[in-house]
Structure 1
Amino acid sequence: MSKPVLTIVVPCYNEEEVLPETITQLNKILKDMIQEGLITDNSTLLFVDDGSRDRTWSLIEQFHLANPCVTGLKLAKNAGHQNALLAGLMKAKAYSDCVVSIDADLQDDVQAIREFVIKFHEGYDIVYGVRQSRTTDTFFKRATAEGFYKLMIKMGVNIHNNHADFRLMSKRTLEELERFKEVNLFLRGIVPLLGFPSTKVHYDRKERFAGESKYPLKKMLGFAFDGITSFSITPIRFVTLMGFLLFVVSIGAAIYAIVGKLTGANVTGWTSLVLSVWFIGGVQLLALGLIGEYIGKIYKEVKQRPLFIIEKEVLAAANTNKAPLPVQQMETTTIGRLQ
């Protein structure tokens, strides 16, 4: 296999604190792979600014001036992590043989990218970065994350345990991914549906280098719920089963009441009656809410609004001939410009 053109796509949202170090580390791994002959010298980094409110975009522009291999897209507004990632993948697809996606926080091991590319040379179209352990997570986050993956798998969703969005995809897999037009985007579930040869690379996840997590508990729960409802109708079936069970219980209660009436037993039962009404009412509201969630997703799909709008972009001129600057030179040039 000839040397491929690689693009590393990095979604960014308010990442000014970590971005200089992220660019430095990714530039170094890109330069090392070029020198090793694993990729071509017109491989690039593509940072996608997802409507940041800090200096993320200005930093991307300044690093681009210092090193044309640092490129960027600026979305017109915050579109969400998955949509920002998709924007970068679709842009990189046009001029890349393979694309690696990684978050900007440097928790994923950048050195694993080299292993991704080696697996690509071996003939794999998709390479998943999978965490070896969750020792860096809090007990709560570890328990909820593992519970989420187990729940998704039990619901029939083809998802890789302990894999986020750190992966390599070949050009042909990205071309097939483009055919998926759904608005409710959950790439961790969509990518395995493509069915191309795939493998895993295990790595140890690190602590966030700087800044704050962009996925607090509320966002994590929303992301998990979107993933479940986008790929499985099991919750709806569960509500149907619950309704059937309650129907059976109600028949039993009716028989009990009739027998009590015929035998002259005193049925006081105010507490049990009120509790039953509250319970059934709660189940009904839960069912309506769940059905409404699915209807809401249908509503979003039928409108077919664009997932993202690109406001600005800075790309390498025809993606040709300029290898990354040595790391030390890049840092010096960029610091000079920032001052």
Structure 2
Amino acid sequence: MSASPEVVRGPELAADIGGTHARIAHVDWEGGAAVLSGFRKYRCAEFSGLSDILELYCNETGCDAPVRFSAAVAGAVSEGKVLATNVPWDYGFDQLPDRFPGIEVFPLNDYHAVAIGTQHLSPNEVLQLTEGDPQTDGLAIAMGVGTGLGAAIRSGFGPSLQVFPTELGQTRLGAHRGLEFEVLGLLAESNGFVRVERILSGPGIAATYSAVRRVLGLEDNELAPSEVVSQAVDGEESAYAAVQLVVSVLANLLGNLAVMLSPRGGIYISGGVTPRIESFLRSPAFYAGLNANEPMAGRISDVPIMMVRRDDIGILGAAHWMRLRTTGAITE
């Protein structure tokens, strides 16, 4: 998996592989910027391994066998090996050359990829929630609200780029008052704590909705997260209260991160959940939660907070990671 000269001998592919789906795209380059095309999405459980998915992708898109492949994966990556249990098969990156001779493979953690991808977004690919221009080489946080809550911290650019993984989703939540206090009491685990991703995730929205209905003395409808958000948009009382609570927790978390790290490179929020709650991210409740630490409100306002509009941010980051590796800008 060593870097090679910057002479492309054939197709380059990049992917974002999660527990449910593998998303793949073809990568071209224009002035150092990745241009993605030929998107395909596959259900991982329908294949016996990654090489089968890549072969089908090439057959469907008519591209030749790839010579380079970079993949963002939901797991820890060390020396080209992936430690993950959320896919139905071993990634088998070291076996890809058996199917695609000469291929170079560059796996990386999914939020490592998202963090890199945020450096290559255009202004129309983000929704800016607070004022301020992100500093290109400033400290930044990339986080995503999806099946769970993932996050990484990055600093620097190009050869000086550094990305630090976190376990933000496993940190402890503290309740404030009223409905939030009662809901967190119902969501507490056996140790009495509530992890952040217990609320800030797709399953967390559904769990919060169920807890809100119990607090209000209503029967639990057991709705899917998307159904909860849809009902909240329509103004249904318990769904609206649940989504507002989720947004309040997110806003408080963002405010705390801004105070702790002062990430002038920005805080970028991605993931499958955030586009669904976009209207709530522009509500007074969101900004009230963001600035709840009133003495630090000025410091928080200096941090640009943005919602990422690109759903292929992981693929974009994986593509640029491949570029950094193959040009020798970063060796590992």
Q: TM-score range by the shorter chain?
A: under 0.3
More strand by share: 2
**Bigger-Rg structure (1/2):** 1
TM-score normalized with structure 2 length: 0.28
